[in-house]
Structure 1
Amino acid sequence: MRFGSRVVTVVAVAGFAVLGLAGPALAHVEVSADKTTAGAENVTLTFDGEAESDDAGIASERVVLPTGIAPSAVTLVKAPAGWTFTPTADGFTVGGKALKAGVDAVWKVKIAKLPDGETRLSFKTLETYSDGEVARWIEIQEQGKDEPDNPAPLVTLKPGPSTAPATSAAPTSAAPSVEPSAVATTTPVSAEPADDDGGSTWWIWVIVVVVLAAVAGFVLLRRGRSGSTDA
């Protein structure tokens, strides 16, 4: 019985020791997005800074924005009561009266537009406690590798929709441009025959006059001959 109780005690102590070591490692600053496509607009990011101190509360969170997101494109949506939002040269800070020890810091910001062509956005974060301790969550998580000890909050995005190349309408627009010129060239041609017909009728009248004159001459000639015979 004593041996069994000792085994149970050793196992329990070892278990608590493991939990004690694992506790701080589980405290992270995490971030999630309501839209997870590259290039998306008006995206709300929710940050969750997990408290890791039993004696001090979180007083502020300083976030460094990834390339492609300007501080001017970020606005505050929600933060702990009494906290304020302050843009910085490379990101922003939310902070104010320290939270109670053990209370997580949760805040939300809106991004006007996520970068195009980026699928992994890291938000380096410095978490400051009321006792001056600073937890630096700034190590970049690389794809395919183990998570570092102090990982920066990461948002994984889907690629944005590809833009289909525009088709050229030049070949189709060239055909109509030929047709009007063809119509224009036929217009004066169709008008010319009317002028020719009107101007060429004079010779018909000349022939008629010549024929009538010949007939009249022939008739007069016959009469003259018949008159001389009678005499």
Structure 2
Amino acid sequence: MAFAAPAAAHVRSDGTPVTQGGYGIVRLIVPGESERAATVALTVTIPEGVDLKSARTLPIPGWTATVERQKVGSAERVSRIVWTATDPANGFGNTEYREFSFSGGPWPKGKDSVALPSDQRYSDGSVVSWNEVAVDKASEPEHPAPIVTLNAAADGHGHDGGHGESATAAGASHHDDTAAPGANESSDGLWHSISVIGLLLALAASVAVAWVLRRDRVTGS
């Protein structure tokens, strides 16, 4: 436990991955560590080769956020994101933490992770830089940089989904096509029967009327 506590007390990502080549939300968990001063600023550096075209920050009451950009040829990339407390009283101490979030992209393709070197500034002017990257899984740097995990993009062809939708649609269409003739034939037969019955009733009525008229003539004569 003596070793676990210091390892956990650093700026870190919450572990939510983002998609390679896409846009996603990065959440950084920042605990206060100084017993003498409050955390009043956080600067996150986007490393070279990670060319985010845009970054939008989640507002934090009592704090401001600035997205700094850098020219890369004829384009621009996000180079740094700086959060600053508007007043030292809005900082937080060693029994608290803050969540600093931003949405940005596109994230690079072909990488499993990206380290985001971060500087944590305190109200007494001191700065702690979280900018070290472990050389292997077994090692733990003293000041590790937060790591954002990148997931490979899903297969955009969507063969299974496309075939499933096509099969469903085709099945529905086939069902409608086969059901329609039977329904039409039943409907036609019904109306044909009604027409015949109606004709017979009309003939019967005519015969009955003719018989009555003839009987009246015979009676009257």
Rounded to whole Å, the distance in 2 between the matches of 1:131 and 1:24 is 21
Measured at CA, do residues 29 and 161 of structure 1 come closer, stay the same or move farther in structure 2, by a change above 3 Å? same
Aligned residues: 144
Aligned position for 1:186 = none
User: Are the aligned partners of 1:48 and 1:106 in contact in 2 as well (CA < 8 Å)?
Assistant: yes
Measured at CA, do residues 161 and 67 of structure 1 come closer, stay the same or move farther in structure 2, by a change above 3 Å? farther
Rounded to whole Å, the distance in 2 between the matches of 1:71 and 1:60 is 22
User: Are the aligned partners of 1:84 and 1:95 in contact in 2 as well (CA < 8 Å)?
Assistant: yes
Aligned position for 1:77 = 58
Any residues of structure 2 matched to 1:17-96 within 5 Å, and which?
Answer: 19=2, 23-32=5-14, 34-41=16-23, 43-70=24-51, 72-79=53-60, 81-88=61-68, 89=70, 90-96=79-85
Aligned position for 2:115 = 122
Please, what TM-score do these two structures have when normalized by structure 1? Answer: 0.55
Q: Secondary structure at the match of 1:157?
A: strand
| Higher strand proportion (structure 1 or 2) | 2
Over the residues paired in the alignment, what is the CA RMSD in angstroms? 2.5
Rounded to whole Å, the distance in 2 between the matches of 1:141 and 1:78 is 31
Measured at CA, do residues 72 and 113 of structure 1 come closer, stay the same or move farther in structure 2, by a change above 3 Å? closer
For each residue in 1:53-101, what CA deviation from the matched residue of structure 2 results, as whole angstroms up to 9, or x when unmatched? Answer: 122110000001133444651111233x221111234211011133132
For each residue in 1:135-172, what CA deviation from the matched residue of structure 2 results, as whole angstroms up to 9, or x when unmatched? Answer: 110002334341211100001222234678xxxxxxxx
In structure 2, runs of 5+ residues without a counterpart are: 71-78, 158-221
In structure 1, runs of 5+ residues without a counterpart are: 1-17, 165-231
| Higher helix proportion (structure 1 or 2) | 1
1:156 to 149, 160, 173: 149
Rounded to whole Å, the distance in 2 between the matches of 1:35 and 1:124 is 17
Measured at CA, do residues 56 and 156 of structure 1 come closer, stay the same or move farther in structure 2, by a change above 3 Å? same
Instruction: Give, in angstroms, the shift of residue 23 of structure 1.
Output: 4.4
Measured at CA, do residues 71 and 130 of structure 1 come closer, stay the same or move farther in structure 2, by a change above 3 Å? farther
Q: Secondary structure at the match of 2:58?
A: strand
Q: Secondary structure at the match of 1:149?
A: coil
Aligned position for 1:100 = 92
Rounded to whole Å, the distance in 1 between the matches of 2:120 and 2:26 is 17
User: Are the aligned partners of 1:58 and 1:104 in contact in 2 as well (CA < 8 Å)?
Assistant: no
Measured at CA, do residues 159 and 93 of structure 1 come closer, stay the same or move farther in structure 2, by a change above 3 Å? same
Residue identity over aligned pairs, in percent, reads 24
Q: Find the structure with the greater CA-based Rg.
A: 1
Higher relative contact order (CA 8 A, sep 6+): 2
